[in-house]
A and B are shown apart, each in its own frame.
Chain A
């Protein structure tokens, strides 16, 4: 909310500097977000004297003026016909930005040089006169020379505070509200505007009536009528006030309602009384499906729970939100019904949300207006209208109040307050603190008080609300700093957090850069992964109000995010990428229940195997590079029983068939690894091979052992023997290794594959695999002969089992 200091001074004297004031307001909970000079935009507008006028060479409408601005003469082309030699006017120099957004530049206008612009009041935002350039009174130069800033010549100075109000402080949504806070800060008094109204018989009751059919939604409705008014532009002072806080002046009636709303916080509405059918007001909820055209000329369909202000026949305003086109104040309007009412915040909010209509009025009603301030605001507006619009105020006021909310006292304990704040404030001091901001305090006993908040503090209802007031008034900086006394027993972190942290560190150590991508992805991303309709990853949760279609669903896989990252980096010429991400995926169980959230790890390698350098050839990475990473990761986590199985295509349709595997740890499949399918790659516009894995790390967490047994380092030497088998290409190497391991020979320590060969002299359906078997005894040094015998027996079994040959 914008607060003009000049305006604020009407209610409270400002005795401290503006920066101190801003700081003090911030420290009482009214955050001043910005402080600025209202007339900053006029700093390059100066007082100039027109010293000569000549005809424009190419235009009959324009004239060429020379303007004296003290240190120089400036040529200016001017189109106004009130310019004359020796007149004093306002010259906007190049660089000035006028309130309408136009920027003044030095230019040539139809062949004549112009280095500034002589402006009208309206152009400068200083008035409504746009008939000609602003003519300044001659005596203005008594104290100033030409070339002085216009702001000093006219004594224009105002500071605007931009205050960010929290939703609880509806009492501060007005100048009087802010003035109340300033008065409390300075310990000065507040002056309310004086209202003088001709009062007499209650004549208004003969002219109109207000019927409240929905008292739950409208606890109070007050009205006055002004007859014979003249609708027209507001006087300068009123327009200026509104402009100073960013409200556009409309006409005197509407401007007055806005002015009083800014002054008191009470939104008002003015109806053209003659256009109200039956000359009366009925407050009721809408008829469902009824349509209604608001002031902004939009037709809106109403629902049954919306509160409407109606006349004898039809709605004329959406209560507390926006008036109706059908009862709008028009130039010809003569009789005005002024509404000042109190509406249920929830009802107003629902309606305003429903229509997406957040108005100054709805903003205040949603937060709650002072039910006791309604008639004051109404009277203030009526008095101003009599002054400004003329006409006759009908005597009397309508004030329907079906529900009077009693102000219930709150039981307040000084001791409990001190305990919660960690302070030792004397209860008498607390009493006077509360009294200083308008609360009534009635002692119950030494410690307890009955406290009644002022009517404008609609946010205060609980003892803790009073604690807050005490803390605020005491000053947070004066509350002592202490440490909580709490037993430490409960603090323990969970295994999953340790394991996740370990995985993060390991992946970085293995050369991968961690990425974090948005949890929402494009709905097409499931299609890009080539998922079949029945795939669980097709069960994506939709976001109802995404920022864009790109963020339409919650991800069911980390892979789209990581591929998008690859695509973006490649387009920025980074082609060698090792990336990983840890994050949740979301598998929907229907839009109305919580989804399954599964924490996944994904890793991707694309481009070079090594950082390319003088000693390292540029070789592309392959499946086995990434598989090695997964193996290293699992081994480092002490998850040993790990196997890779050729993957069934339907599990990972985004992987290339034949170059895809399930990762199995113990009895469980924990993830998948493989080369990304070319169709998936092209969906992400990636033109190089990429290898990817995805692991459900919740499953890993469960397998990471708490403690693990250290193996004894053997004392006796090992003996190695090699065997090369020529066998069918269809036999996976792991089967041979597993078979050897399953023999469980106590002397066979390890089998390692050290060479794979295809082609050459081998038949096309054969390959040659070379294994190194390591033999060792824990009890003695093995004899060569014993090893040879054992090795032959193992080799023979392999040859037989796999129909292999020796080379």
Chain B
């Protein structure tokens, strides 16, 4: 065995030699102040040709009775040194870190394109979630629709003034772009027997264009049919909806109105969310905002789909998604929704 210089003649026994190596190593480690010194130390003592490693290797040459003790101690020492080395390294790192200027953490992170959902999709989703939580199913239907489903079946005959309530895009005499999502309800009733609760979201079309109207917009309509469904139930469901959509402090006002497919019909106003009823530009100084149309399904509509009007009653309601989104997001020009300016879209 080649002994290092610091093992003088007095370290004669194997035990003495290994203890001296430990002592020497620890003192060297104490004086090390650079990572490079630690690395050199690690090679010198613990590397493949390091002193401790060599010592361990040489144990086999010792007399048999000394081997267990020497081996055990050598392993202990190896462990002690490894621990000490880790500690010294950490100390150096901590010290260096304190001195280091580090990186400029204020530099922007690696940017990624952030996507977004259209505000109309977001609000439609929110509305649908509220109703599905209340047990409503979601129904869908065609956007290009037969006059029959869009009007006739809904108690709006040809040449009736109620047709003026909705300016219609025509494809032909018998085919229109649906002016509301109510035809979905008629189609649903033709295929399903009561009781049920559905909502029908979707695009609708009316020939109208200004700051509050676009020729295409979105509606969510709903229909509840069962035995002994009452006007009180209509009030209950819509109140629950408004309280979840806005907040439970939002007052509602139901007032008489007219829709050909419901009777009695009600417009639902909510207390202006902008001014809380004091009167402002958004509510045209009235303190109220019209957000929903509703009513008890007209018996003529049930007759058209073959429901027994003596047994079943129901209510229907509908709302414009754009209108609600305008209130929720403070958007004052409805046309913004369809310009799809990326600076607008990214805000959602």
Q: Mark each residue of chain B from 89 to 109: 1 if its CB lies under 8 Å from any CB of chain A, else 0.
A: 000000000000000000110
Q: Mark each residue of chain B from 331 to 348: 1 if its CB lies under 8 Å from any CB of chain A, else 0.
A: 000000111111101100
Binds A, one of B39-47, B65-73, B116-124: B116-124
Tell me whether B137 is interfacial, beta carbon within 8 Å.
Answer: yes
Judging by beta carbons under 8 Å apart, are A519 and B256 in contact?
no
Chain B residues 119-161 with CB under 8 Å of chain A are 120-121, 125, 132, 135-138, 140, 142-146, 159-161
Tell me whether A493 is interfacial, beta carbon within 8 Å.
Answer: yes
Tell me whether A27 is interfacial, beta carbon within 8 Å.
Answer: yes
Judging by beta carbons under 8 Å apart, are B215 and A518 in contact?
yes
Judging by beta carbons under 8 Å apart, are B345 and A515 in contact?
yes
Judging by beta carbons under 8 Å apart, are B171 and A542 in contact?
yes
Q: Mark each residue of chain A from 529 to 560: 1 if its CB lies under 8 Å from any CB of chain B, else 0.
A: 00000000000011111110001001000000
Tell me whether B162 is interfacial, beta carbon within 8 Å.
Answer: yes
Pick the contact of B144: A350, A509, A514, A594 (CB < 8 A): A594
Judging by beta carbons under 8 Å apart, are A568 and B236 in contact?
no
Chain B residue nearest to A506 (CB atoms) is B115
Closest CB in chain B relative to A570 CB, distance in Å:
10
Tell me whether B7 is interfacial, beta carbon within 8 Å.
Answer: no
List of A residues within 8 angstroms of B136 by Cβ: 491
Judging by beta carbons under 8 Å apart, are A494 and B138 in contact?
yes
Judging by beta carbons under 8 Å apart, are B340 and A565 in contact?
yes
Pick the contact of A484: B226, B239, B266 (CB < 8 A): B226
Tell me whether B233 is interfacial, beta carbon within 8 Å.
Answer: yes
Q: How far does the alpha carbon of A494 sit from the alpha carbon of B141 in the complex, in Å?
A: 13
Pick the contact of B118: A421, A476, A484, A515 (CB < 8 A): A515
Chain A residue nearest to B239 (CB atoms) is A481
Chain A residue nearest to B233 (CB atoms) is A484
Q: How far does the alpha carbon of A519 sit from the alpha carbon of B173 in the complex, in Å?
A: 20
Judging by beta carbons under 8 Å apart, are B257 and A616 in contact?
no
Chain B residue nearest to A565 (CB atoms) is B340
Pick the contact of A574: B142, B164, B214, B342 (CB < 8 A): B342
Closest CB in chain B relative to A457 CB, distance in Å:
13
Binds B, one of A239-247, A269-277, A607-615: A607-615
Known: A465-B263, A543-B171. A169 touches B236 (CB 8 A): no
Q: Mark each residue of chain A from 161 to 188: 1 if its CB lies under 8 Å from any CB of chain B, else 0.
A: 0000011110000000000000000000
Pick the contact of A513: B298, B339, B342 (CB < 8 A): B342
Q: How far does the alpha carbon of A95 sit from the alpha carbon of B107 in the complex, in Å?
A: 57
List of B residues within 8 angstroms of A734 by Cβ: none
Pick the contact of B112: A491, A586, A611 (CB < 8 A): A611
Q: How far does the alpha carbon of A70 sit from the alpha carbon of B111 in the complex, in Å?
A: 70
Known: A366-B161, A467-B263. A519 touches B121 (CB 8 A): no
Q: How far does the alpha carbon of A554 sit from the alpha carbon of B145 in the complex, in Å?
A: 13
Known: A493-B138, A578-B113, A611-B112. A479 touches B164 (CB 8 A): no
Interface SS, B side: mixed
Judging by beta carbons under 8 Å apart, are A28 and B235 in contact?
no
Judging by beta carbons under 8 Å apart, are B342 and A569 in contact?
yes
Tell me whether B237 is interfacial, beta carbon within 8 Å.
Answer: yes
Q: Mark each residue of chain A from 328 to 355: 1 if its CB lies under 8 Å from any CB of chain B, else 0.
A: 0000000000000000011001100100
Closest CB in chain B relative to A603 CB, distance in Å:
10
Q: Mark each residue of chain B from 240 to 266: 1 if its CB lies under 8 Å from any CB of chain A, else 0.
A: 100000000000011111100001111
Q: Mark each residue of chain A from 587 to 604: 1 if its CB lies under 8 Å from any CB of chain B, else 0.
A: 000011111010000000
Judging by beta carbons under 8 Å apart, are A546 and B255 in contact?
no
Tell me whether A201 is interfacial, beta carbon within 8 Å.
Answer: no
Judging by beta carbons under 8 Å apart, are B135 and A486 in contact?
yes
Q: How far does the alpha carbon of A551 sit from the alpha carbon of B207 in the complex, in Å?
A: 11
Judging by beta carbons under 8 Å apart, are A166 and B257 in contact?
yes
Judging by beta carbons under 8 Å apart, are A491 and B137 in contact?
yes
Judging by beta carbons under 8 Å apart, are B111 and A611 in contact?
yes
List of A residues within 8 angstroms of B191 by Cβ: none
Known: A346-B159, A504-B121. A464 touches B258 (CB 8 A): no
List of A residues within 8 angstroms of B115 by Cβ: 507-514, 578
Judging by beta carbons under 8 Å apart, are B340 and A472 in contact?
no
List of A residues within 8 angstroms of B170 by Cβ: 543-545
Chain B residue nearest to A518 (CB atoms) is B216
Chain B residues 75-99 with CB under 8 Å of chain A are none
Tell me whether B34 is interfacial, beta carbon within 8 Å.
Answer: no
Q: How far does the alpha carbon of A569 sit from the alpha carbon of B342 in the complex, in Å?
A: 7
Known: A167-B165, A584-B143. A491 touches B135 (CB 8 A): yes
Pick the contact of A543: B169, B256, B299 (CB < 8 A): B169
Q: How far does the alpha carbon of A423 sit from the alpha carbon of B233 in the complex, in Å?
A: 11
Binds A, one of B9-17, B25-33, B51-59, B195-203: B195-203
Tell me whether B274 is interfacial, beta carbon within 8 Å.
Answer: no
List of A residues within 8 angstroms of B140 by Cβ: 494, 497
Tell me whether A29 is interfacial, beta carbon within 8 Å.
Answer: yes
List of B residues within 8 angstroms of A421 by Cβ: 230-232, 264
Q: Mark each residue of chain A from 361 to 374: 1 if its CB lies under 8 Å from any CB of chain B, else 0.
A: 00000110000000
Known: A27-B255, A420-B231, A515-B345. A464 touches B162 (CB 8 A): no
List of A residues within 8 angstroms of B117 by Cβ: 504-505, 508, 514
Closest CB in chain B relative to A247 CB, distance in Å:
21
List of B residues within 8 angstroms of A577 by Cβ: 342
List of B residues within 8 angstroms of A483 by Cβ: 233, 236-237, 240
Pick the contact of B209: A467, A480, A547 (CB < 8 A): A547
Q: How far does the alpha carbon of A422 sit from the alpha carbon of B237 in the complex, in Å?
A: 14
List of B residues within 8 angstroms of A476 by Cβ: 231, 235, 254-256, 266
List of A residues within 8 angstroms of B229 by Cβ: 484, 486
Closest CB in chain B relative to A269 CB, distance in Å:
21
List of A residues within 8 angstroms of B174 by Cβ: 592
Judging by beta carbons under 8 Å apart, are A591 and B165 in contact?
no
Q: How far does the alpha carbon of A482 sit from the alpha carbon of B236 in the complex, in Å?
A: 5
Closest CB in chain B relative to A491 CB, distance in Å:
4
Q: How far does the alpha carbon of A169 sit from the alpha carbon of B345 in the complex, in Å?
A: 43
Closest CB in chain B relative to A326 CB, distance in Å:
28
Pick the contact of A491: B118, B132, B296 (CB < 8 A): B132
List of B residues within 8 angstroms of A687 by Cβ: none
List of B residues within 8 angstroms of A594 by Cβ: 142, 144-146, 175
Tell me whether B114 is interfacial, beta carbon within 8 Å.
Answer: yes
Judging by beta carbons under 8 Å apart, are B113 and A31 in contact?
no
With A513-B346, A519-B203 known, 20 other A-B pairs at CB within 8 A are A28-B256, A31-B257, A421-B231, A462-B299, A482-B232, A485-B226, A485-B228, A486-B197, A487-B195, A488-B135, A493-B137, A513-B116, A547-B209, A565-B340, A568-B340, A574-B343, A577-B342, A578-B115, A594-B142, A611-B113
**Among all A-B residue pairs, the 10 with the closest Cβ atoms:** A422-B232, A29-B256, A422-B230, A166-B258, A511-B113, A611-B111, A508-B115, A482-B232, A476-B254, A484-B233
19 of the cross-chain contacts (CB-CB < 8 Å) are A167-B161, A167-B258, A345-B161, A367-B161, A472-B256, A476-B266, A479-B254, A485-B228, A486-B197, A486-B226, A487-B195, A490-B192, A491-B132, A511-B112, A543-B177, A569-B342, A572-B341, A592-B174, A610-B113
> Which residues in B have some Cβ–Cβ distance to A below 8 Å?
107-108, 110-118, 120-121, 125, 132, 135-138, 140, 142-146, 159-162, 164-165, 169-175, 177, 192, 195-197, 203, 205, 207, 209, 214-216, 224, 226, 228-233, 235-237, 239-240, 253-258, 263-267, 284, 296, 298-299, 313, 337-343, 345-346
> Which residues in A have some Cβ–Cβ distance to B below 8 Å?
26-29, 31, 34, 166-169, 345-346, 349-350, 353, 366-367, 419-423, 462, 464-465, 467-468, 471-472, 476-477, 479-488, 490-494, 497, 501, 504-505, 507-520, 541-547, 551, 554, 565, 568-569, 572, 574, 576-579, 583-584, 586, 591-595, 597, 610-611, 613-616
